[in-house]
């Protein structure tokens, strides 16, 4: 019997790579049912991430999906943004029309809480692609929902690659380390896509050409986004393309066999100025701290791009 699609909430701060994650989910209805999209402040402020989320839905022909605005700042700190990577709008590159679909009135955190209470326990997966503020707030405001989450599959952190926003920390965790700490200690089963894996899925020329060759609006916009986004990391790392971080989360839900990692303890640094937001990952098992996450380390990169391209071509 075919399995019913997995129900997810995407929590996001688009971001070109977030856009690929959303589109991969929309192109995979047999695998994934998107219950809603919650925007968070991250790559750019909330006013832009909620707008960008709606623009992506419309591009993918999914203006029926509910988009909510969540938190506009981290729990305890000033918002740090990443316009240097994603451009002023967060989605720089191709120009897209302003969205006409509405933003939901309900606060995104309330939507997360209400959905987890409404759906049967253990049937909703949370997919955070930005700072973990909304998820942490939901867990703080409604501790009863924590045990109802099926799994959290998130993009964030790094071990071997260490940091991208500071020498020690990855952006999503660095922006709201207190929220990350709360989520990593929540007891919910965690799957983590760190830079160690996302730096292996690079938008090489051939892969971007495959997007363009679709001959669709989604294909053209995807190629233009990849072209814009990759410049920053290619210069920084001298790599063959930009890392497509966030869609690894959705790809894992569809084809977990593309990925491998270790179930280990991961703690978040919240005190040190120098290493704030570092994901201290016990990859080598040198402590007896409790294992709290599947920390992914490797990916079949071509398998990932084959899946992504096939699903984007459906939109």
Q: Which residues are catalytic?
A: 245
Q: Tell me if 246 contacts ligand BDR by CB under 6 A.
A: yes
Q: Which stretch binds Ca ion (CB under 5 A): 58-66, 98-106, 127-135, 176-184?
A: 127-135
Q: Which does 171 bind (CB under 5 to 8 A by kind): ligand BDR, Ca ion, none?
A: ligand BDR
Q: How far is CA 257 from CA 201, 249, 253, in A?
A: 15, 13, 10
Distances (CA, A) of 265 to 172, 184, 192, 252, 295: 19, 9, 11, 20, 9
Site string for Ca ion, 83-122 (x = CB under 5 A): ----------------------------------------
Its sign, for the CA torsion 222, 52, 42, 10, is: negative
**Residue 309, contacted partner among ligand BDR, Ca ion, none, CB below 5-8 A by kind:** none
User: Among ligand BDR, Ca ion, none, what binds residue 295 when CB lies within 5 to 8 Å by partner kind?
Assistant: none
Binding residue for ligand BDR, selected from 15, 108, 163, 261, defined by CB under 6 A: 15
According to DSSP, the residues that pair with 149 across neighbouring strands are 124
Torsion of CA 41, 138, 28, 52, to 10 degrees: -20
Cα–Cα distance, 315 to 313 (Å, whole number)? 6
| Contact flag: residue 299 with Ca ion (CB under 5 A) | no
Using CA atoms, how far apart are residues 38 and 20, in angstroms rounded to an integer? 16
Residue-wise burial string across 59-79, b where 16 or more C-beta atoms lie within 10 A, e elsewhere:
bbebeebbbbbbbebbbebeb
Q: Which does 170 bind (CB under 5 to 8 A by kind): Ca ion, ligand BDR, none?
A: ligand BDR
State which of positions 5-24 bind Ca ion (CB under 5 A): 13, 15, 18
Shorter beta-carbon distance to Ca ion: residue 130 or 297: 130
Q: Shortest Cβ distance from residue 20 to ligand BDR (Å)? A: 10
List CB contacts of 312: < 8 A, sequence separation 6 or more. 20, 23, 24, 27, 211, 214, 218, 219, 222
Which residue's entry shows tokens 């410049």?
A: 231
Binding-residue pattern over the window 110 to 129 for ligand BDR, x denoting contact by CB under 6 A: -------------------x
- Binding residue for ligand BDR (CB under 6 A) from 25, 32, 46, 85? 85
> For the packed helices 247-254 and 301-312, what is the interaxial angle rounded to 10 degrees?
90
Contact criterion met (CB below 8 Å) for 82 and 165: yes
Contact region with Ca ion (CB under 5 A), list: 187-195, 239-247, 291-299, 301-309: 239-247
For residue 264, the number of C-alpha atoms closer than 13 Å in the C-beta half-sphere is 19
Binding pattern to ligand BDR, positions 156-195, x when CB under 6 A? Answer: --------x-----xxx-----------------------
For ligand BDR, give the closer residue by CB, 113 or 135: 135
- Write out the residues near ligand BDR by the rule CB under 6 A: 15, 17-18, 43, 82, 85, 129-130, 155, 164, 170-172, 245-246
- Write out the residues near Ca ion by the rule CB under 5 A: 13, 15, 18, 129-130, 246
């Amino acid at each position: 019997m075919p399995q019913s699609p997995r129900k997810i909430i995407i929590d996001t701060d688009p971001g070109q790579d977030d856009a690929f994650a959303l589109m991969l989910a929309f192109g995979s209805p047999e695998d994934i049912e998107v219950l809603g999209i919650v925007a968070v402040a991250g790559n750019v402020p909330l006013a832009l991430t909620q707008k960008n989320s709606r623009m992506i839905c419309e591009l993918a022909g999914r203006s029926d999906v509910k988009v909510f605005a969540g938190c506009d700042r981290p729990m305890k700190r000033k918002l740090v943004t990443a316009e240097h990577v994603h451009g002023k709008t967060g989605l720089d590159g191709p120009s897209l029309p302003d969205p006409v679909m509405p933003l939901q009135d309900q606060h995104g955190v309330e939507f997360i809480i209400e959905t987890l209470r409404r759906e049967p326990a253990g049937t909703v997966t949370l997919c955070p692609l930005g700072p973990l503020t909304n998820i942490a707030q939901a867990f703080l405001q409604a501790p009863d929902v924590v045990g109802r989450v099926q799994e959290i599959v998130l993009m964030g952190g790094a071990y071997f690659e260490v940091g991208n926003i500071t020498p020690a920390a990855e952006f999503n965790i660095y922006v709201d380390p207190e929220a990350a700490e709360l989520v990593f200690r929540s007891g919910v089963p965690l799957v983590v896509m760190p830079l160690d894996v996302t730096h292996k899925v690079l938008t090489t020329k051939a892969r971007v050409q495959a997007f363009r060759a679709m001959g669709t609006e989604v294909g053209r916009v995807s190629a233009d986004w990849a072209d814009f986004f990759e410049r920053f990391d290619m210069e920084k790392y001298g790599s063959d393309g930009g890392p497509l971080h966030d869609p690894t989360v959705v790809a894992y839900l569809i084809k977990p066999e593309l990925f491998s990692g270790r179930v280990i303890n991961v703690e978040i640094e919240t005190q040190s100025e120098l290493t704030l937001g570092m994901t201290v990952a016990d990859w080598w098992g040198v402590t007896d701290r409790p294992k709290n996450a599947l920390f992914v380390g490797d990916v079949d990169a071509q398998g990932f791009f084959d899946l992504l391209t096939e699903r984007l071509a459906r939109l």
